[in-house]
């Protein structure tokens, strides 16, 4: 197992995802002689996990069962221990595409935070690219290093413990892309430019408040960035039970009906920044009355050069 | 050769020295020898950009390009760094645009509101003919804009913001600038969604981004891709895999369509591990009756017959003859060369094809046999790869109903691997969802949609631009697990039914009428 390569069987030292059921899962470090408690009973690693295939059904001591899944950055994002607020896969996907990341890309990131985005970036740039990530909080930087080691990706990432706004990324003229998720990204734009390759590159900054976005846009323009674009992506998840139920209903009544709006549910992630955006969008006027409801799932603004 | 290339790279790295002007041409030549770099090379695919409009073209000398009502030649662009902005001069030449100091207008005069501005249609003193005359004289767009401003009686009374907006609007119209950018998934998916959404089943670029992430696409994977999006999804997957690992493309009809794939300008190496396998053969492969002993000609005939009876195909399959000749790179070039707006029109390429055909018929026969033989060899390879049933993921984005595709193609995927299905409409995915639950062997099923909103961010003028919703398609994603053979499908279905309280059901029925 590794986060950048699929393996078939579960091995000692692997990080595996225990899938309990609908949206309920947690990560586990596989170790000989260890046990893990679940609501369905005990999983004994030596007997129940090691040597089994990823994707197997494992019966726990109380007779209940769980699935053991191969880790991916997306599963990790849903299960990692939060040390900060994190970016979720919806935002990560658009960031990855807009930064034009691919195997071999050199990326700079700050801050590392809980490493949600970092894992996704490493996955995309492996095996020949590299991630330089900067985190000014010493404990968080340490923890991130430890996780990268455990996940078998330490050779693809360099964690630097410094203030990106003051000291930059610790590298110059090598990056294809820079990503910023810090409170004052405008203070780091100069350093971002220094980190990017001389022939150019792409930059993206993530901010929850429009005021931050405005200051960042001005700073980007000042440093000669072009093609500045601000965007926002919202995820809507259609509730499983209701969807399935609706479909059965359709069959039974032999009539095709339009999906009623009330059956559409919002996404799975409760998000503390929501309040802020309700305020913001209301202030924005014209489109707001329509947007507020849709924004219950807001993840912030993404700027792409 | 190699040392020359290395030298070129070094020189460009330490580049911006003195006497750059003279060196530029020579350096460009060296860079071209070094292979695909950040510079525009002859024969490569590039994307033209004006404002938010994109167009993919092949960079060729002395070839007239028509883009946004302008015509020009790309000759001068060769050797420049991707991302360079050019001005179109008379005669269709491209000239790198020098950074112009924005005309900081002497005394910034502006009104505060529009209470006294009346729309009498006479504010512009230049007539239509005057403007045309200016244009015909070959006067720079920048100057025309300046003239328009000077001859506008209301300009000074407009607010600062309105003036800004006025200038922007005129610049857009009269200043002919074109940026040449390197193709990427970001650019091509944006371009296709804007220009030809029908060809990619209205797959919006943020939805494509979700697919790549949900599918955990990365170097080293063994992916199965089934798409009818002109090869755009395939190209996106190839970009993320960077030439590592393998891809098996499942195709309906006579062969895979890869018009968009070739716009990416991937190196040859990327195609070494790209396989294709006809959808019509999937059932026989699964049942174990798939045979590679058939003669190529037989295979073709059979393929056509089977497709028709398959029920999957709602269009007439493209004839084998056409697709056979379709060498991967040639297609795009051919297509891009058509100077019309329909950059990727497949029909256009058919025509050129037939012309070629009549010219050299005899050679064709031999060539055809060789190609058929190669085709068969590749088919055997692809079948062997599929038979291992250990693919690392499945991506489906087609115009066909997803349910039968999923039910059969998931057989080839290893357990604990993600799969993603795109559909323009939600309803087929709902059905697919229930069928997958009945089948079992999948968990974490999720039906989702993304909305995308762009913002205008300017001092004191920040607001959302537009919301795109409903038009970007839907995704059904999940993870495969070991299929439990012991439990019958029936019990799963029962379990599902049990989940819903009957009271809730009544509620919906009531609402129906």
Closest Cα in chain B, distance from residue A216 (Å): 10
What separation in angstroms does the CA of A127 have from each of A103, A149, B105, B235?
A: 6, 16, 53, 19
Average pLDDT on B167-177 reads 81
pLDDT for the residue numbered B59: 92
Residue B32 has pLDDT above 70, yes or no: no
Q: CA A181, A186, A190, A195: dihedral to nearest 10 degrees?
A: 10
Q: d(Cα A189, Cα B26) in Å, to the nearest integer?
A: 34
List the single residue in A72, A244, A259 with the smallest CB-CB distance to B426. A259
Q: Whose CA is closest to B450, among A243, A146, A91?
A: A91
In the prediction, which pLDDT does B317 show? 38
Say which residue the tokens 């019958």 belong to.
Answer: B488
Tell me the C-alpha distance between A57 and A77, whole Å: 22
The sheet with strand A24-29 has its strands ordered as A24-29, A15-21, A65-69, A57-59
pLDDT above 60 for B6: no
- Residues of B within 8 A of A253 (CB-CB) are 509, 512
* Cα A104 from Cα A106, distance rounded (Å): 7
Separation CA B114–CA B160 (nearest Å): 11
**Segment A2-44, tens digit of pLDDT:** 899 999 999 999 999 999 987 789 999 999 999 999 988 999 9
Of A68, A126, A284, the CB nearest to B219: A126
pLDDT of residue B307: 39
Q: Do B452 and A257 touch (CB under 8 A)?
A: no
Distance CA A303, CA A192 (A): 14
- Determine the average pLDDT of the residues in A106-133: 96
Q: What is the pLDDT of residue A240?
A: 58
Q: Report the C-alpha gap between B300 and B376 in whole angstroms.
A: 10
The 10s digit of each residue's pLDDT in B428-442 is: 999 999 999 999 999
- Residue A207 has φ and ψ, to the nearest 5°, of -135, 145
Contact predicate A116/A88, CB 8 Å: yes
What is the reported pLDDT for B346? 42
Residue B386 to residue B285: CA distance in whole angstroms: 9
Q: Which pLDDT belongs to residue A273?
A: 29
* B452: closest CA of chain A, how far (Å): 5
User: Using CB atoms, which residue from B416, B497, B508 is nearest to A55?
Assistant: B416
Nearest CA in chain A to B239: A102
- For tokens 């769980």, name the residue: A66
Taking the Cβ of residue B482 and every Cβ of chain A, the question of whether any pair is shorter than 8 Å is answered with yes
A62 CB contacts (<8 Å, ≥6 apart)?
Answer: A40, A41
Output the pLDDT for position B414: 97
Task: pLDDT band for A94, please (50, 70, 90 cuts).
Answer: very high
C-alpha radius of gyration, chain A, whole number: 22
ipTM: 0.82
Which pLDDT does position A54 carry in this prediction? Answer: 96
Buried residues in A32-50 as b, exposed as e (16+ CB within 10 A)? eeeebebebeebebeebbb
């Amino acid at each position: 197992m590794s986060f950048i390569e699929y393996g078939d069987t579960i091995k000692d030292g692997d990080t595996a995802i225990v899938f309990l059921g609908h949206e309920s899962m947690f990560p586990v470090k596989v170790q000989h002689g260890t046990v893990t408690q679940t609501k369905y009973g005990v999983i004994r690693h030596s007997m129940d996990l090691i040597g089994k295939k990823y994707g197997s059904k494992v019966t726990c001591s109380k007779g209940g069962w769980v699935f053991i899944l191969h880790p991916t950055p997306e599963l990790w994002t849903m299960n990692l221990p939060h040390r900060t607020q994190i970016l979720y896969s919806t935002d990560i996907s658009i960031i990855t595409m807009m930064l034009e990341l691919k195997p071999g890309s050199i990326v700079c990131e700050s801050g590392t935070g809980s490493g949600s985005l970092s894992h996704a970036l490493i996955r995309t740039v492996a095996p020949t690219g590299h991630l330089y990530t900067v985190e000014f909080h010493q404990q968080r930087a340490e923890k991130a290093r430890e996780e990268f080691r455990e996940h078998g990706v330490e050779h693809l990432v360099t964690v630097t413990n410094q203030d990106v706004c003051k000291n930059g990324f610790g590298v110059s003229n090598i990056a294809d892309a820079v990503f910023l998720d810090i409170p004052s990204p405008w203070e780091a734009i100069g350093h971002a430019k220094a980190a990017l390759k001389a022939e150019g590159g792409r930059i993206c900054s993530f901010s929850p408040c429009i005021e931050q976005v405005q200051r960042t846009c001005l700073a980007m323009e000042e440093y000669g960035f072009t093609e500045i674009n601000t965007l926002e992506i919202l995820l809507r998840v259609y509730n499983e039970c209701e969807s399935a139920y609706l479909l059965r209903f359709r069959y039974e009544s032999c009539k095709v009906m339009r999906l009623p709006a009330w059956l559409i549910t919002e996404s799975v992630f409760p998000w503390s920044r929501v309040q802020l955006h309700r305020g913001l969008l209301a202030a924005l006027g014209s489109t707001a009355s329509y947007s507020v409801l849709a924004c219950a799932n807001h993840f912030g603004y993404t700027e792409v050069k | 050769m190699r040392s020359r290339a290395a030298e070129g790279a070094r020189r460009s790295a330490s580049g911006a020295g003195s006497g750059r002007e003279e060196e530029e041409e020579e350096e460009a030549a060296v860079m071209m020898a070094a292979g695909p770099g950040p510079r525009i090379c002859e024969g490569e695919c590039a994307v033209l950009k004006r404002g938010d409009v994109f167009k993919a073209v092949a960079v060729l000398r002395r070839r007239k390009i028509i883009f946004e009502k302008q015509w020009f030649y790309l000759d001068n662009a060769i050797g420049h760094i991707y991302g360079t902005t050019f001005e179109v001069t008379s005669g269709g030449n491209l000239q790198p645009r020098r950074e112009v100091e924005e005309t900081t207008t002497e005394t910034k005069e502006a009104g505060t509101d529009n209470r006294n501005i009346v729309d009498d249609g006479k504010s512009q003193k230049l007539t239509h003919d005057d403007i045309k005359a200016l244009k015909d004289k070959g006067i720079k767009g920048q100057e025309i804009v300046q003239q328009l401003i000077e001859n506008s009686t209301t300009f000074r009374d407009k607010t600062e913001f309105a003036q800004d907006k006025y200038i922007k609007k005129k610049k857009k119209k009269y200043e002919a600038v074109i940026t040449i950018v390197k193709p990427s998934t970001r650019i091509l998916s944006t371009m296709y969604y804007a220009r030809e959404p029908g060809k990619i089943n209205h797959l919006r670029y943020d939805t494509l981004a979700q697919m790549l992430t949900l599918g955990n696409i990365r170097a080293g994977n063994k992916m199965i891709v089934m798409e009818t999006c002109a090869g755009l999804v395939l190209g996106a997957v190839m970009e993320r895999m960077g030439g590592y690992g393998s891809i098996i493309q499942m195709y309906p009809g006579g062969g895979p369509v890869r018009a968009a794939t070739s716009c990416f300008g991937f190196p040859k190496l990327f195609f070494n591990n790209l396989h294709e396998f006809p959808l019509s053969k999937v059932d026989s492969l699964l049942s174990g009756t798939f045979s590679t002993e058939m003669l190529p000609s037989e295979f073709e005939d059979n393929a056509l017959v089977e497709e028709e009876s398959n029920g999957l195909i709602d269009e007439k399959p493209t004839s084998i003859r056409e697709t056979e000749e379709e060498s991967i790179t040639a297609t795009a070039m051919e297509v891009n060369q058509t100077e019309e707006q329909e950059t990727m029109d497949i029909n256009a390429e058919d025509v050129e094809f037939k012309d070629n055909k009549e010219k050299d018929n005899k050679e064709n026969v031999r060539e055809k046999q060789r190609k058929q033989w190669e085709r068969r060899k590749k088919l055997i390879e692809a079948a062997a790869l599929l038979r291992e049933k250990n693919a690392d993921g499945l991506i489906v984005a087609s115009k066909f109903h997803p349910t039968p595709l999923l039910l059969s193609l998931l057989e080839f995927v290893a357990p604990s691997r993600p799969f993603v299905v795109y559909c323009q409409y939600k309803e087929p995915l709902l059905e697919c969802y229930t069928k997958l639950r009945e089948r079992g062997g999948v968990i974490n099923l999720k039906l989702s949609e993304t909305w995308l909103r762009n913002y205008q961010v300017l001092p004191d003028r920040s607001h959302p631009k537009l919301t795109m919703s409903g038009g970007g398609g839907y995704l059904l994603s999940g993870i495969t697990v070991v299929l439990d053979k012991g439990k019958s499908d029936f019990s799963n279905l029962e379990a599902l039914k049990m989940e819903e309280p009957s009271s809730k059901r009544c509620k919906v029925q009531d609402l129906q009428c």
